[in-house]
Amino acid sequence: MGRSLARRLAARGDDLVLWGRDTVELQASAADLAARAGRSEAYPVLALDLEHPEGFAGAVEVSLETLGGIDLVVITAASFGTQEELEADLERARRLLVVNFANTVALCEAVRPALLASRGTLCVFSSVAGDRGRKPVGLYGASKAGLSHYLESLDHRYHAEGLRVVCVKPGFVRTAMTEGLPAPPFAGEPDGVAKDVLRAIDKGQPVVYTPRMWGLVMFIIRHLPRFVMRRVGF
């Protein structure tokens, strides 16, 4: 999803710095984006790993120097595991909760001053899994529920100062993360998600469900009585 969104940003002429933990893969993506955008040089890349928050400040500082300012930050990275996998491995569950919530929030806080200075936009991928406690995604969903709560609070606190916060809530999307999992109805593709997200960024839309049908699906799920949720398996 991040690659698809980066392609759309590059195609319209945005200057980019790519963050990620695998710099070899990042460099390949940067070269591909440059070729698609008709640039002679690849976009710059910086190593950043959500498991290592000590690197956040440096990445932000170098990005500011490289771009001369930051008016959009998009955070798509996350850790995933099935409920069964996480219940069987407490350390893996702990790492997922830290990466998806605590360290993602820390990265948002690290970029917040730069975005406030430019009256920019912070776009962060949460998940529909955080909208309601559900059997199959209890731990993963809890991490995303906390993240969505934080992003809404950030929007309330800094909207008047010019910060725009976009919380993306994808449903099931066919990516490497979901490979091997049974796809439910309304499963999306990365480029469709990128199109929805870019539209939300440009409009300053605070919450976007994508594919859009998931907005209706989650509206229904959020309003189901608890006794029904105890009986169903989704």
**Active site positions, annotated:** 140
SS3 call for 18: strand
Q: Is the peptide bond before 184 cis (omega within 30 degrees of 0)?
A: no
Task: Count how many residues are written for the chain.
Answer: 234
User: What residues contact 204, with CB distance under 8 A and at least 6 apart?
Assistant: 121, 164, 166
- What are the DSSP calls for 145-183, one per residue? HHHHHHHHHHHHHHGGGT-EEEEEEE-SB-STTTTTSPP
Cα separation, 94 vs 121, whole angstroms: 30
Q: In angstroms, how far is CA 102 from the centroid of its own chain?
A: 14
